[in-house]
Amino acid sequence: MPRIVLATFFFLAMALPAAAQSATATARLGPGQTVTVTAVRASGESARLEIATPSGTQRFDGIGEQFLTMKSGGKDSIIVVADLNGDGIDEIIVRGSVTSDASAVIVYQWDGARREYLPLDFTADNQDEGKPFLFVDAASTVTIVRPGTIEVSATRSDQSGRANTVVERYRWDGNGFKYVADN
C-alpha cells in the first residue's frame, strides 16, 4: 500500500503546474527614455517577455516553460538589463528552460530604425551563421560578467568520472555574441 500512496503523490506532484513567475525591470532606451520590461509566467502557461516601448508593447512568447536566473552584479535575476555593447542603450537578457535539462539565453537589442527590440545572434567558433539564442545546460550558471561578455559555467564529467568546471565565454563582436574561449 505505501508504494501506491508514494506513486500517487509523485504523479500528482508531476501533474501540478509550476508556480507563477513575475519580475519587472527598467531599461535605458536613450537619454531620458526608458522602457519597462516584464517577465511573466502565469501558472500553467509558458514564459513570456513584455517590453513597453514608446510605440507600444512588444510581446515575446515561447521563452520557455519557466524563467531561470542569471547572475549580474553579484545578484541573481530572471531579467538582466545591461548595456552590453557600449552604445548607451540597455540590452535585455532572459533565460528560459526549454526541456528539463536545457535552457536558452536570449539577448534583445533595441533597433532604432525599426523602433523595436530584436534578438541578437550567438555564433559558435565553427559556425558562420548565428542563432537568436544560446542553448545551455539548465544546471549551468549564466553570468553577465562585464559589458560585452556572457559566461556559461557548467560541470562536465570526463571518461574517468572526474568532474571539471568548464567556462564558455561569448563576447560582443559588433553584430551579436561570438564564442571566444573556454577553460
The per-residue pLDDT for range 93-142, each reduced to its tens digit, is 999 999 999 999 999 999 999 999 999 999 987 777 889 999 999 999 99
Question: For cell 501558472, what's the residue?
Answer: 43
**In the prediction, which pLDDT does 3 show?**
42
Report the C-alpha gap between 159 and 169 in whole angstroms.
24
- pLDDT for the residue numbered 182: 65
pLDDT above 60 for 33: yes
Q: What is residue 183's predicted lDDT score, i.e. its pLDDT?
A: 62
- Per-residue pLDDT tens digits for 54-90: 999 999 998 999 999 999 999 999 999 999 999 999 9
Per-residue pLDDT at 18: 63
Sheet containing strand 141-146, strands side by side:
75-77, 70-72, 141-146, 149-157, 163-172, 176-182, 121-123
CA distances from 48 to 58, 63, 98 (A): 10, 6, 13
In the structure, what pLDDT confidence band is assigned to residue 181 with cuts at 50, 70 and 90?
confident
Whether residue 29 has pLDDT greater than 60 = yes
Residue 153's DSSP bridge partners are: 141, 167
pLDDT tens sequence across 6-28: 333 333 334 445 678 999 999 99
